[in-house]
């Protein structure tokens, strides 16, 4: 389970069958994905600063809260 390389890592369905995790397995609430995850983003050849900017942008987009309409009127 604790393998960094996703191509050699055990998948989520088989992880849930592992004796260490099996007690927490609820098949009725754990649907399996129909498609495999696309790891091709790891092949992107951007420089470090570009990655930092992209991560910061994602975090800011995720945390952004629209201002209340009342606060815009004042």
DSSP 10-72: PPHHHHTTSTTTGGG--GGG-PPPSS----GGGG----HHHHHHHHHHHHHHHH--PPPHHHH
Q: What's the pTM value of the predicted model, to 2 decimals? A: 0.38
Which pLDDT score, from 0 to 100, does residue 49 have? 93
Per-residue pLDDT band for 15 (boundaries 50, 70, 90) equals: confident
- Rounded average pLDDT over 16-21: 87
**For 22-67, what is each residue's pLDDT tens digit?**
888 888 887 877 888 787 877 778 899 998 998 988 888 888 766 6
């Amino acid at each position: 389970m604790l393998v960094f390389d996703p191509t050699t890592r055990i998948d989520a369905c088989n992880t849930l069958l592992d004796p260490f995790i099996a007690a927490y397995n609820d098949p009725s609430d754990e649907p399996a994905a129909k498609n495999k995850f696309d790891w091709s983003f790891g092949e992107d050849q951007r420089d470090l600063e570009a990655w930092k900017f992209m991560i910061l942008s994602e975090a800011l987009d995720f945390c952004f809260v629209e201002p209340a309409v009342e606060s815009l009127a004042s």
